[in-house]
Amino acid sequence: MIACPVDRADPPCTPTPVQARLTVLNATAQAVVATVDTDAQGHFTVAVPAGSYLLRPVLIGGGPARRPTNLPVTVAAGHYTSITMRLDNGLR
């Protein structure tokens, strides 16, 4: 999990890791499968069966997620899936 105050091309924003709480949703039914807290560096591991999921931020840095956007993720059987989720904190 990384956050930037504003995603700009000039000068580019230096990504800053953040702690967050995520919900893992089944991509089809959008039912909650798991909730996971990242560490201070934004890293997390969650065990789910192979399939398609959506990651949705619930809390970012201890506060509510503003305009949370779902990140689609496909998990293959027997493999870890690495993702990078960029978050917009809403500041302009």
pLDDT tens digits, 37-70:
999 999 999 999 999 999 999 988 878 777 778 9
Question: Residue 31 in contact with residue 52, Cβ under 8 Å?
Answer: no
Does this model's pTM top 0.85?
A: no
Query: Residue 15: which of 25, 26, 1, 29 has the closest Cα?
Result: 1
Task: Using the predicted structure, report yes or no on whether residue 27 has a pLDDT greater than 80.
Answer: yes
Q: Which segment of 10-14, 34-38, 88-92 scores lowest on mean pLDDT?
A: 88-92
Count CB-CB contacts under 10 A for residue 39. 12
Of the two residues 6 and 87, the one the predictor is more confident about is: 87
Residue 21: the pLDDT is 93
